[in-house]
Amino acid sequence: MSDDLVFGLYIFALATFVGYQVISRVPPLLHTPLMSGTNAISGISLVGSLVAAGGKHDLTSSILGFVAVTAASINVVGGFMITDRMLRMFNKKKSPALPPAAAAGAKRPVKTA
């Protein structure tokens, strides 16, 4: 059992706590953006791919790395763009299409019999 393993386990355990707590605070309203957001973040495997692609070990490595970089950056770019596009759509105030009166009415479940 190496120091690296133990260190890694510390990071892993703490990060899992953080992750669990942060995610469980995300409301259902934003679960789809959450999915594509984490997706973009998972594109961090880009870091590993870059090393492989730039390692100049031999052609095989470079090509493998190249494909990896491509795939990962699709996720990063795509993920962040879509998530942002989604979040831009969520707005609180009524759209002009609807009269303000209705907006007020819709603010909370009105208990009218």
Partner 1 sequence: MREQFISLAYLVASILFIMCLRGLSSPEQGRRGIFLGELGMLIAVVATLFKAEIITFEWIIAGLLLGSLIGTAISLRIPMTQMPERIALSHAFGGLATSLVGVAEYHRVRDIAAQLATDAITVAQAGHGMTRLEMGSLGFEVFLGSLTFTGSLMAFGKLQGFITGAPVTWKGQNLMNFGAFGGAIVLLVYQVIFLADAPQWMFFTMCGTGFSLGVLAVLPIGGADMPVVISLLNSYAGLAACATGFALRSNILIISGALDGSSGLLLSLLMSKAMNRSFANVLFGAFGTGDSGGVTAPGAGPARAFNDATIEDAAAVLAASQTVIIVPGYGMAVSQAQHAVRDLAAALEKNGTEVKYAIHPVAGRMPGHMNVLLAEANVPYDALFDLDMINDDFARTDAVIVVGANDVVNPGAKTDTKSPIYGMPVFNVEQARSVIVLKRSMNTGFAGVENELFFLPNTMMVLGDAKKTLISLFGAVKGDGH
The interface with its own copies within residues 22-61 (CB under 8 A) comprises 22
CB of 17 to its own copies, least distance (A): 5
Q: Which residues contact 23 (CB under 8 A, 6 or more apart)?
A: 34
The interface with partner 1 within residues 21-60 (CB under 8 A) comprises 22-58, 60
CB of 11 to partner 1, least distance (A): 5
21 forms part of the interface with its own copies (CB under 8 A): yes
CB of 104 to partner 1, least distance (A): 10
Answer yes or no: are the C-beta atoms of 45 and 69 closer than 8 Å.
Answer: no
Binder among 7, 55, 67, 85 for its own copies (CB under 8 A): 7
Half-sphere exposure of 73 (CA within 13 A, CB side): 8
Q: What distance in Å separates the CA atoms of residue 39 and residue 36, rounded to the nearest whole number?
A: 5
97 binds, among its own copies, partner 1, none (CB under 5 to 8 A by kind): partner 1
Whose tokens are 């707590």? That residue is 21
Q: What distance in Å separates the CA atoms of residue 98 and residue 68, rounded to the nearest whole number?
A: 48
31 binds, among partner 1, its own copies, none (CB under 5 to 8 A by kind): partner 1
